[in-house]
């Protein structure tokens, strides 16, 4: 449920809508790995993110952020003053390259189209939209283990939702979030 609220907040930011009411049941989740089914603006933003991340330079990702009217959410709370420094300070390697690697892996994974009433967002990985991670199928467990360790998944199951990195892109191609935590 906590992850659902995050996605709902990112959706609201992306389209300027209000948040769905707590417990609202109009949400639906469609899972796919068919890139050809993505709207062209979403497919283009996904590709731009992969290209920026595979350079190994956080600054190239920041360039994409700055090209948007509103920057994507990359942290809970106030946006960081220096985005490059934020990625470096919150990385394991001190350069932000582990976050860039995670971004590429997430965007190669299946995605979810989440619908709240008339509003939609695309979320990678689709696992971020699943309420009960303890009920994953064997195939979904393989998807999860490609993105996190067995211990990491166990912690997310105990927590009640996906709290590792996730990406949200609106149907118009607006990159709404690349965030970790919950």
Residue with tokens 């927590």: 159
* pLDDT tens digit sequence for 123-167: 999 999 998 999 999 999 999 999 999 999 999 999 999 999 999
Question: Is the pLDDT assigned to residue 20 strictly greater than 80?
Answer: no
Q: What is residue 182's predicted lDDT score, i.e. its pLDDT? A: 62
* pLDDT tens digit sequence for 32-77: 999 999 999 999 999 999 999 999 999 999 999 999 998 899 988 7
Residue with tokens 């009960």: 132
Range of the domain at 30: 2-179
Q: Which residues contact 161 (CB under 8 A, 6 or more apart)?
A: 1, 2, 3, 4, 128, 131, 133, 182
Rounded-to-integer distance, Cα 17 and Cα 13, Å: 7
DSSP state of 90: T
Domain count along the chain: 1
Q: Which residues pair with 124 in a beta bridge?
A: 167
* pLDDT tens digit sequence for 66-123: 999 988 999 887 778 888 888 888 888 999 999 999 999 999 999 999 988 788 999 9
Q: Which residues contact 132 (CB under 8 A, 6 or more apart)?
A: none
Would the CA dihedral through 119, 47, 91, 63 be positive or negative?
negative
Confidence label for 10 from pLDDT (cuts 50, 70 and 90): very low
């Amino acid at each position: 449920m906590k992850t659902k609220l995050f996605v709902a907040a990112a959706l609201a930011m992306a389209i300027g809508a209000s948040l769905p009411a707590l417990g609202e049941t109009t949400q639906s989740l469609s899972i796919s790995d068919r890139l050809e089914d993505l709207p062209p603006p979403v497919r283009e933003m996904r590709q731009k993110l992969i290209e920026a991340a595979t350079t190994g330079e956080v600054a190239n990702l920041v360039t994409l952020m700055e090209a948007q009217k509103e920057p994507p959410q990359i942290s809970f709370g106030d946006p960081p003053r220096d985005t490059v420094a934020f990625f470096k300070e919150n990385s394991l390697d001190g350069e932000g390259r582990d976050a860039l690697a995670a971004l590429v892996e997430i965007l190669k994974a299946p995605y979810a189209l989440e619908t709240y009433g008339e509003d939609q967002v695309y979320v990678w990985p689709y696992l971020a939209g699943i309420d009960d991670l303890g009920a994953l199928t064997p195939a979904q467990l393989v998807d999860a283990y490609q993105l996190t360790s067995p211990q990491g998944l166990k912690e997310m199951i105990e927590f009640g939702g996906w709290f590792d990195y996730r990406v949200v892109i609106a149907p118009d191609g607006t990159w709404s979030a690349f965030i970790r935590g919950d």
